[in-house]
Amino acid sequence: MPGSEPDLELINVRLPLEQDGGLFKLTVRGGIWSAVEAQQGPAEPDGHIPIGDAGLEELSDAPALDLQGKVALPGFVDAHMHLDKAYSIEHVRNQSGTLREAIEGYRSLAASFSKDTIKARIVKAALASVSFGSLTLRSHLDVPLHLGREVAMRTVEAALEAREEVGSFVDIQYFPMFYYDPAKDGEMTAFAEETLRMGIDGVGGAPHLTPDPEQNIGWAFKLAAGFGRLIDLHIDESDDPAVKTIDTYCDHIVRNGYSGKATAGHLCSLSAMEQPEADRLIAKMAEAGVGAVTLPAVNLYLQGRGDSGNVRRGVTRIKELAEAGVPLAAASDNIQDPFHPFGRGDMLQIGLITAYAAHLAKEEDIPKVLSMLTNTPAAIVGLTNYGIRPGFPAGFVVLDAASGESLLQELPAARWVYNKSRWIHASQIKRQWAKRS
């Protein structure tokens, strides 16, 4: 109601995405940003509680908080994850560190993971991500239909149940990785259509790993268009410069009117190509309107395994894609599984790895890196009212840092997360030091 007290008032907030080093006062009413006002300087607290002093309960009862110059960002959008595989490394390791061994190792155990196991992994990884400030996740799903329909459907059911369980904290989109073999068209089409009817969001896959990539891409578009869904494929996750399914993908995007509705993850081989060919494909991507997602942690780990000496890093051409106007996000990909032994669902960690991998470390590069974790993936996954702006939903994370650059310098452990009209996670920062007796 206009004129009523806000649910929440925050003073002395820094908003590094606004490209303004100043302080802001923010107000929330009914879970929506009602005002975002630049302050003239530091504001005197008037009953405002310092955010670092409050635990989750005190925070929830406090209508006014002093952020003391800390940074707030709209909730991170982790646009490419594999929540169903997270934390499986205790069961399946990767001795060679290659993509091939990761796929074969996971597949050899896929049938042994129960629905409850998969569901528990998704819930754990999703909530870990929330604790670091991610509020929208897009996860690919492993659906090994060749191991039997029940095995493939198990992951889909686990994923939908897990989403229900964590739905008051975080929004999750699912894109199963349909493995299209023309010899088994009918079986896969029936399975895929059923998952979309059950509530699966869009169409995924990895055409460069299938018997006929071109047919796979055509099939994926027919399926997605038939259901009016988005498409998000693993594209060219390979060091081999001859692997270029992105070429065909762009043709299909244009032909099917999928500009702005199709995403390409990885694009590793693009970095291995000769410059003129890479230039041609990047220009084609910009023209086609495809969104790109780089997964630098996983690519640094899995790619370049056949090289010695000057080892290729596998990370796509981040700067060149961005300069050509291709929307480019960075994301987690795998967390503690045979595809990536590290990671914790922390987009700030991914931002730092991206900054290293792409040589994005000048002061003016920092907002670009932060956009790759926030605004750009939000657009890629289809969020239309994303950001700290009046009228938009107030889903945000406060981080214990005084600037965008210090986010990457300090990787602050302390985070406070607000979503869907309430605080959902809080760190307390009372540093204590031992006294000398």
| Residue ranges in contact with Zn ion by CB under 5 A | 333
**9 CB neighbour count, 10 Å cutoff:** 21
In whole angstroms, how close is the CB of 138 to Zn ion at the nearest point?
A: 10
User: DSSP per residue over 87-127, as a string?
Assistant: TGGGT---SS--HHHHHHHHHHHHTTS-HHHHHHHHHHHHH
Q: Find the helix or strand (DSSP H, E) in which 158 lies.
A: helix 149-166
Pick between residue 74 and residue 314 the one whose CB is nearest to Zn ion: 314
- The least CB distance from residue 177 to Zn ion, in Å, is 8
Give the closest residue to 417 by CA, choosing from 363, 348, 339.
348
Size (the chain), residues = 437
Rounded to a whole number of angstroms, the minimum distance from the CB of residue 234 to Zn ion is: 5
Query: For residues 265 and 404, which CB has a smaller minimum distance to Zn ion in the complex?
Result: 265
Residue 240, both tokens: 């081999």
In the complex with Zn ion, the residue whose CB is nearer, 236 or 333, is: 333
Residue nearest Zn ion, CB atom distance = 333
Q: Distance between CA atoms of 400 and 51, rounded to whole angstroms?
A: 10
For residue 128, the minimal CB distance to Zn ion (Å) is 18
Contacts of 3 (CB under 8 A, 6+ apart): none
Minimum distance between the CB of residue 351 and Zn ion, rounded to whole angstroms?
18
- Shortest reach from residue 83's CB to Zn ion, in Å: 11
Q: Which is nearer to Zn ion, 103 or 153 (CB)?
A: 103
| Farthest CA pair distance, the chain | 76
User: What is the closest distance, in whole angstroms, from the C-beta atom of residue 294 to Zn ion in the complex?
Assistant: 11
Alpha carbon distance 219, 256 (integer Å):
12
Contact 316, 291 (CB under 8 A): no
**Quick one: 9 or 333, whose CB is closer to Zn ion?**
333
CA distance 143 to 149: 9
Which CB sits closer to Zn ion, 100 or 359?
A: 100
In the bound state with Zn ion, the residue whose beta carbon lies nearer, of 234 and 368, is 234
How far apart are the C-alpha atoms of 82 and 70, rounded to whole Å?
Answer: 31
Eight-class DSSP state of 81: E
Joined tokens for residue 397? 């994370």
DSSP secondary structure of 322-361: HHTT--EEE--B-SSBTTBS---S-HHHHHHHHHHHTT--
For 233, the token pair is 């494929």
Q: Tell the smallest beta-carbon distance from residue 430 to Zn ion (Å).
A: 39
Angstrom CA distances, 409 to 351, 354, 356, 363, stand at: 11, 13, 12, 12
Which CB atom, from 26 or from 102, has the smaller least distance to Zn ion? 102
| Beta carbon nearer to Zn ion, 66 or 333 | 333
Least distance (Å) from Zn ion to the CB of residue 80? 6
